[in-house]
Amino acid sequence: MKFGLNLRDFLSDPERSIYSQLEDTAAIIRDATSLGFWGAYMPQHWISHPTIWLQPIPVLARLAPENSNLKLITGIVLLPLHNPIQVADEVATMDHITNGRFILGVGLGYRDVEFEVAGTSRKERVSRFRESIKLMKLLWSGEEVTFEGKHWKLRGGRLGLTPVQQPHPPIWIACQSPVTARRSATLGDGCLLGPRIEWRYFQELADTYWQTVHEAPSPTEGFLASHRCISIAPTRQEALQAAQEKVETSARMYGTWRMQEPTISNLGLSSTKDLSEWAIVGTPEECAETIALCEEEMKVDYMGLTFLNLPRGPSQRREYLQYVSEELLSRFA
């Protein structure tokens, strides 16, 4: 099992300067590999007031020189909001900045306000997504591209820079439903299960993904990733109590963003729902048991962690990560 850090955990304090938060995060990134982390990821949202969502590509570019081994992941870029030619160029650039350590995580998005400012809608998001993936892969080949799609047109275009990783950096496609699990298997290099999907649906989506991978005309190895929320403490009660404030704040935010849709698996957005139904919570032993189940029964290869009980002070955060490293991650080394 490989583990990732959610960088937004360290970069969303409205009472501190972003610069100082980035400097503190850079110090954590320098030690991330020795702490047992394989990657670090940064999510994306637009027009997010009163919450802070720094944009993933600039953040990852800033942190890239701090650790020459860590994978840097967009977790996720909301692809239908973007021009795929710009994304293809930025991905190629990032792959060189990181010397081939970049992973492109992409998803559909769900906020109407974001689609509106991008000049599109939920109705068009799947077709824009599919078309963007196809066009980006053509551009990364290094050949001259002529493309006539529903949303994008290109005549005789060619990128000035192709990625370090060939044929392109891994593409992880976010998954919240059986439909997107199948899409991940057919369009991407990995499936990225959402962070708040209830465990009872988690198994179903994992099974759908692996079944689609194995039944493909040209089966691949597949790669199953997940971002999960975790609260870990010496006792289960401490873990539950420490996570409650973060859970309530998060539930209010996502509730206003209409994240839950009728066509996708239950995301467990309510703050009254038992944490154990959707999060990793408890003592190190209990958390390790949950993660081992994901690895052994659902064949999860990577788990990015959002910390529900992360302390606020930089020194306390470093101590907390050391605790996570010694008491949890070391079990999977």
Rounded to 5 degrees, φ, ψ at 171 are -110, 115
CA–CA dist 12, 54 (Å, integer)? 8
**Cβ neighbours of residue 59 under 8 Å, at least 6 residues apart?**
7, 11, 22, 42
DSSP label at residue 30: H
SS3 250: helix
Whether this prediction's pTM lies above 0.75 is answered by: yes
Q: Tens-digit pLDDT profile for the chain (333 aa)?
A: 999 999 999 999 999 999 999 999 999 999 999 999 999 999 999 999 989 999 999 999 999 999 999 999 999 999 999 999 999 999 999 999 999 999 999 999 999 999 999 999 999 999 999 999 999 999 999 999 999 999 999 999 999 999 999 999 999 999 999 999 999 999 999 999 999 899 999 999 999 999 999 998 887 899 999 999 999 999 999 999 989 878 877 766 666 666 556 666 556 555 567 888 999 999 999 999 999 999 999 999 999 999 999 999 999 999 999 999 999 999 999
Domains and CATH numbers, the chain: 2-75+170-332 (3.20.20.30)
Amino acid letter at 263? T
Contact 3, 305 (CB under 8 A): yes
Q: Which two tokens stand for residue 145?
A: 């591209």
Query: What H or E segment, with its residue span, contains residue 33?
Result: helix 18-35
CA–CA dist 85, 259 (Å, integer)? 27
Contact 105, 78 (CB under 8 A): no
Q: Which residue, chain included where needed, has tokens 């940064």? A: 42
As a whole number of angstroms, the longest Cα–Cα distance in the chain is 61
Contact 159, 138 (CB under 8 A): no
CA–CA dist 222, 66 (Å, integer)? 30
Q: Which two tokens stand for residue 239?
A: 């873990």
* CA-based R_g, the chain, Å: 19
Which residue from 47, 43, 97, 36 is spatially nearest to 73, judged by alpha carbons? 43
Q: Which two tokens stand for residue 294?
A: 């994901």
